Amino acid sequence: MPESTDDRAGTDDGGNLPSPSNRILTVPNALSVLRLALIPVFVWLLLVEEAYAWAFWILMFSGFSDWADGKLARLLNQYSRIGELLDPLADRLYIVIIPIAFGIEGFVPWWLIAIIIGRDVALFAMGPLLRSRGLLALPTLYIGKAATFALMSAFPWLLAGQLDSVVGTVCYPIGWAFMIWGVGLYLWSFVLYAYQTVLVLVRLPPRTASSGHIN
C-alpha cells in the first residue's frame, strides 16, 4: 500500500528517526497482535451474539491501544520492523471490516462503505506505480492520520448510538459527525496521495533492473 500509516514513527532527541530493530517480543507489538486477534471476536459479538455493549468496549480498547502502542514504542524505544507492519495492518483491517459489519447490521449505508473501502483499494493499486520508480510508500500525511482517527472514533459512537436510551440519542449524532468528518478527510487525503503519485511518476525515471534493490 502506498500510504505509510504507522504512528510509531518518531524522532530521538537529536531529531533523527530511530532505527527499527528486528525484535518481535515488544509491548507495542503485543498490543497490535491483540488488536488483530480481537477483530473476529468483535465480528462474532456484533453479528452473531448482537452483544453491542461488549462490541463497543472492544472498539474502545482497540482505539486506545492504537494510540498507546505508538506512545509506548517511543517511550520504551521499542521500534521494530514487524511493528511497522502490524500497526498499519490492524488499522486497515479495522477500517475495512468494521464498516462491512456495520453495513450488515444496517448501521451505515452501503454506498458510504463503498467509498471507504474503495479509497483504500485505489491507494493499494498505486503501489506498483511507486515501485516502478523505486519507492515503497509515500510519506505519511497528517490529514490521513486525522482521517483514520476520525473514522476509528466514529465506530464506537455509532455503535453506542444504537442503544434505545438517552445515551443512544446523544451518541448517534456524535458518531455521524465523526463519520462525515472522517470520510471527507479520507477522500481529501486520497486526492493528495494521488497527486504525490503523479509527481513521482513525472519526476522520477522508471526503475531498471540494474538499479538494485531497496532494503
Binning pLDDT at 50, 70 and 90, where does residue 20 land? low
Single pTM value for the model: 0.79
The three cell numbers locating residue 109: 449505508
Q: Is residue 16 part of a domain?
A: no
Judge if 184 and 158 occupy the same domain: yes
Q: Is residue 3 part of a domain?
A: no
Quickly count: other Cβ atoms within 10 Å of residue 204's Cβ.
13
Question: Is residue 44 scored above 90 in pLDDT?
Answer: yes
Judge if 99 and 25 occupy the same domain: yes
Judge if 70 and 124 occupy the same domain: no
**Measured CA distances, 213 to 2, 82, 102 (Å):** 17, 20, 42
| 52-91 b/e (C-beta count within 10 Å ≥ 16 → b) | beebbebbebbbebbeebbebbbeeebbbebbbebbbbbb
Q: How many CA atoms within 13 Å lie on the side-chain side of 96?
A: 13
Among 61-65, 95-99, 106-110, 111-115, name the one with the lowest average pLDDT. 61-65
Q: For 189-208, how does the pLDDT look when each residue is reduced to its tens digit (9 = 90+)?
A: 999 999 999 999 999 888 76
Q: Is residue 126 part of a domain?
A: yes
Structurally, the chain folds into a number of domains equal to 2
Q: For 126-166, how does the pLDDT look when each residue is reduced to its tens digit (9 = 90+)?
A: 989 999 988 877 887 889 889 988 998 999 999 999 988 89
Phi-psi region of 212 (alpha: psi -120 to 50; beta: other; left: phi over 0): left
Write out the residue range of the structural domain in which residue 113 sits: 109-207
